[in-house]
Amino acid sequence: MSLKDVALHTAQRGISGSYALRGTPFDPATAFHPPRGWHSTVHYGLMLPNLPAPLNFIDVIAVIGQPRITLWNNHHLVETSAADTASLLIGTGVEFPGQFRGYRVGRDLELAPDSSLVRFGDDLRIEGAYPNFTVTYRNPAFDLDLRVRATDKISHFVKLRGGLYDHWSLLCQYEGVVTYQGETLEISGLNTLEYARGAHIKLPFTFFTYHIINIDDTTQVLMVEVLGPLGLAVQRSVYVRSLTDHGGTYENNFRFEVRRLEPAARRTPNGLSMHLAAEFDWSVDDEGGTELIEIHGTTNDDYVFGMAGGYAGSYRYTGRFRGEPVSGTGYIEYIGNH
């Protein structure tokens, strides 16, 4: 491990308590609430990778209260105030009207204090309590009904000292039905249930990417890279967990390399210009210095705007995991320019 990596990891341990929680089971008392107090922004997310074409993936990205972080902000949706503004993306490989839209929190949302009900108008309902949840989405062109059972396998991405920002992900199993273009498809597999809460502070992030790969029917791998000004690494981590193993966090010799960008930059509704990745590689070593995973990905040209202030999509991949060949369809979030 290089001196640069040592310095990065030391800094991360100093400002975030997430690494110390690796491998520990989910505590049902973990915070899971709508905006309150100084936590003015909350995110609920469900991500389903590795679906058959043309769906490729499904995500539910709900953001309540607009953050001050530019990459996550959708200021063009604000009618009254940032706190009264919410957004919802139902991302997938097929396009339909209303995939991404804004809401007024006080007018359109119903939020139980314990998040046992999160309702966005007549469009989305997330109901239940750990470990069982139901997700219902209604759109004239796209309906979704999911039953989600969470495990106790949790990955803590960020847990800033003082409670300024928390973000975690649970490994889940799901089954359900999706209806689009007159067709109904039964789906099932591994997914994530994610939650974040943050204070109204400005963090100078310039790039963010997040990937989810289901290695098989029991094992899931997550990858995160966050950059700050001048390309300074804020976080570079890979998380592995399975139905039978709490897994671990890996950072040694992390690499994310974009090999080809889309031909033209995309212009977001907020006026930002983003050149999205079309082909890329990423890898990391295990704690003993042996390659843990190496992935070669090519996107499916299905990026959709609304992953906060950026894009979500899918990609075809080949590679190796713990020395064995792997392939499939991964999930990607991408905001900013790498």
**Partners of residue 236 on adjacent β-strands:** 225
Structure confidence at residue 6 (pLDDT): 54
Question: Is the pLDDT at 323 greater than 60, yes or no?
Answer: yes
Q: How far apart are CA 153 and CA 170, in angstroms?
A: 6
Q: How far apart are CA 209 and CA 310, in angstroms?
A: 10
CB 296 within 8 A of CB 282: no
Chain centroid to CA 212: 8
Q: For residue 11, what are the domain limits?
A: 3-336
Structure confidence at residue 303 (pLDDT): 98
The pLDDT mean for the chain works out to 93
Neighbours of 203 (CB within 10 A): 17
Structure confidence at residue 189 (pLDDT): 98
- Residue keyed to tokens 């007024």: 104
**7 vs 54, 205, 245, CA distance in Å?**
43, 19, 29
Question: Is the pLDDT at 223 greater than 60, yes or no?
Answer: yes
Q: How far apart are CA 64 and CA 102, in angstroms?
A: 10
Question: Is the pLDDT at 60 greater than 80, yes or no?
Answer: yes
Number of domains in the chain: 1
The SS3 of residue 112 is coil
Question: Is the pLDDT at 13 greater than 60, yes or no?
Answer: no
Q: Which helix (H) or strand (E) holds 274?
A: strand 273-274
Lowest model confidence (mean pLDDT) among 22-36, 137-151, 169-183, 241-255: 22-36
Structure confidence at residue 201 (pLDDT): 84
Fill in the DSSP letter of residue 25: B
Q: How far apart are CA 18 and CA 182, in angstroms?
A: 44
| Sign of the alpha-carbon torsion through 74, 79, 85, 86 | negative
CB 195 within 8 A of CB 163: no
The SS3 of residue 105 is helix
Structure confidence at residue 147 (pLDDT): 98
Percent of the chain with pLDDT over 70: 93
Measure the CA angle with vertex 201, ends 197 and 205; round to 5°: 90
CB 314 within 8 A of CB 332: yes
Half-sphere exposure of 130 (CA within 13 A, CB side): 19
**203 vs 47, 206, 207, 233, CA distance in Å?**
25, 9, 12, 13
Question: Is the pLDDT at 11 greater than 70, yes or no?
Answer: no
Domain with residue 314: its CATH number is 2.40.370.10
Percent of the chain with pLDDT over 90: 84
The closest of 60, 219, 78 to 153, measured between CA atoms, is 219
Structure confidence at residue 78 (pLDDT): 96
CB 280 within 8 A of CB 256: yes
Question: Is the pLDDT at 1 greater than 80, yes or no?
Answer: no
**Partners of residue 304 on adjacent β-strands:** 312
Structure confidence at residue 16 (pLDDT): 46
For the record, the structure tokens of 14 come out as 């100093």
Structure confidence at residue 5 (pLDDT): 59
Tell me the pLDDT tens digit for each residue of 48-59.
999 999 999 999
Question: Is the pLDDT at 12 greater than 70, yes or no?
Answer: no
Tell me the pLDDT tens digit for each residue of 67-116.
988 888 999 999 999 999 999 999 999 999 999 999 999 999 999 999 99
Structure confidence at residue 200 (pLDDT): 86
Q: Which class for 110: exposed (0-12), middle (13-18), buried (19 or more C-beta within 10 A)?
A: exposed
Structure confidence at residue 186 (pLDDT): 98
Query: pTM, whole model, 2 decimals?
Result: 0.94
**Partners of residue 318 on adjacent β-strands:** 296, 327
Which has more confidence, 228 or 18? Answer: 228
